[in-house]
Amino acid sequence: MRVISYVPRPEGKEIPGYIEIVSWEELLQTSDYISLHVPGGEKNQGIISKKEFAMMKKSASLIQVSRGGVVDEEALAEAIRNSQIRGAAVDVFSEEPPQKDNPLLKLEQVILTPHIGSNTVECMDRIALDVAEDVHLVLSGENPKHPIKR
Active site (catalytic) residues = 67, 96, 115
Under 8 Å CB-to-CB from 34, ≥6 apart: which residues? 27, 28, 56, 60, 61, 62, 63
What's the distance, Cα to Cα, between the start and end of the chain in Å?
A: 43
Question: Rounded distance, CA 82 to CA 10, Å?
Answer: 35
Of 90, 37, 84, 26, give the one whose Cα is nearest residue 60: 84
Question: Rounded distance, CA 137 to CA 32, Å?
Answer: 44
